[in-house]
Homo-oligomer: A and B are copies of this chain.
Amino acid sequence: MAQILTTTDDGFEAAFGALLGAKREEAEDVDTAVAAIITEVRARGDAALHDLTQRFDRLDLAETGMAFTPAQIEAEIAKVTPEDRAALELAAARIRAYHERQRPTDAVWQEENGARLGWRWTPVSAAGLYVPGGLASYPSSVLMNAIPAEVAGVERLVICCPTPGGVVNPLVLLAAQLAGVTEIYRLGGAQAIAALAYGTASIAPVDKITGPGNAYVAAAKRRVFGRVGIDMIAGPSEIVVIADADNDPDWIALDLLSQAEHDESAQSVLLTPDAGFGRAVIAAVERRLETLERRAIAGKSWHDHGAVIVTRDLEEAALLSNRMAPEHLELCVADPQILSERITHAGAIFLGAWTPEAIGDYVGGPNHVLPTARSARFSSGLSVLDFMKRTTLAQMTPEALRAIGPAAERLAISEGLEAHGLSVRARLDRLNDL
């Protein structure tokens, strides 16, 4: 049974604190192994990639080739059913339309003294996207990572995807094609991340690496951070649902279970002002758990980490949600817009009972790569901005330098940086000579 907490109970703060602070995942310590793999790829390049892929994926890259050929890609994509293709195309179109609105704008303005200031956004030149193999190989994640990069204007987009025993998910290749990615390598694990960060004879290095992965991939991304940019290191998925009694308990139960089925470490929490509704949802979850395909995973997640919290009112529910700063937040209430204005920390908000979180995983438009583990307090989901960077611009005129140069000189002197001051003074002296 998932626990039921009630905010008016004496022990609530302690119980809620425990829920907030619970460590749901033990990070596997693979750092030493990962360091060795990176060193090997840097030293031996392609030869190391061949050896490591043989060892971990039981695949002879000399036979299959390291990169998928266009013919290999087409042959795999041909296996996709028309229905799956249509669904993926709809998703790609909607994700692209949403992200195109995120393109940032440049700005340049002139001050009265003639100085021009501003900034300019430019895309990262090359980005690498890691796509897990096997069961967790999600075509939707390919779209969610590759399309923002494509919209940003990234010139070179690369995918690394392990193909254990040679098996690849055709939908992953179709998703890559829909996002315009043609450079795809049969590489996985820390060796793929090392190849993307440092390059080998046959793979040019990239500037930014994104995408989900197992403990080895996460540790490798941490290690190459700085050499290249990385996205967040995602933790297990979470959902908070705020629901009033005017909901179908079964809908809410399914929404909670759609996080729980991801991972035993996932967390699903219902906040409701109606204790009776909370109990009805718990009963509905248990009913669904009798037949759900992934009931072992979803059941363990729900029973270990799930919770129903009965609040005084919706306002208190919003306050508790803000303390959780959830990755996903559903507002299944009569006026979700009003309630959403009380939300200060959340990765993504789904407004109203007609917006199950699963819509956002696939076809809503917003990105499904979102901050986990309360990091929505300080970070955002993946976006076009993650594949761009801003260069600031400043151009002084003699008049502008005369106006603000002396202040710069004085501050330089106060900080003990003489050459800084002299670089301004030499110019001011010239102006005085003119």
Write the residues of chain A forming the contact surface with B, with a CB cutoff of 8 angstroms: 83-84, 86-88, 90-91, 94, 98, 101-102, 107, 109, 116-117, 119, 122, 124-125, 135, 138-140, 171, 207-208, 226, 228-229, 233, 248, 250-251, 254-255, 257-258, 260-262, 288, 292-294, 298, 336-337, 340, 343-367, 370-371, 373, 375-381, 383, 385, 389-398, 400-401, 404-408, 410-412, 414-424, 426-427, 430
Contact = CB atoms under 8 A, between A and B. Distances in A.
Quickly give the copy total for this chain: 2
A408 B358 contact: yes
A423 B88 contact: no
13 contacts: A87-B406, A87-B407, A122-B345, A140-B415, A254-B426, A261-B420, A347-B392, A355-B395, A358-B417, A359-B401, A359-B408, A361-B420, A376-B389
A419 to B, nearest CB: 4
A218 B125 CA distance: 28
A348 B119 CA distance: 9
Contact of A348 (B251, B348, B394, B398): B394
A420 B360 CA distance: 10
Nearest to A94: B404
Contacts of A116: 351
A94 B406 CA distance: 14
Contact of A88 (B394, B398, B411): B411
A421 B255 CA distance: 10
Given A116-B351, A229-B378, 20 more contacts: A90-B404, A117-B366, A139-B414, A226-B233, A254-B423, A255-B423, A257-B423, A261-B418, A261-B420, A288-B422, A348-B394, A349-B391, A349-B393, A350-B394, A351-B393, A353-B427, A359-B394, A363-B411, A365-B394, A380-B389
Contacts of A109: 101
A98 B117 contact: yes
Nearest to A250: B426
Given A90-B404, A401-B359, A348 B424 contact: no
Contact of A139 (B371, B381, B415): B415
B407 A394 contact: no
Given A261-B419, A392-B367, A412 B359 contact: no
Top 9 nearest A-B pairs by Cβ distance? Answer: A229-B378, A366-B392, A351-B395, A254-B423, A87-B407, A358-B420, A257-B419, A380-B390, A356-B423
Given A346-B391, A354-B401, A359-B401, A251 B427 contact: yes
B398 A354 contact: yes
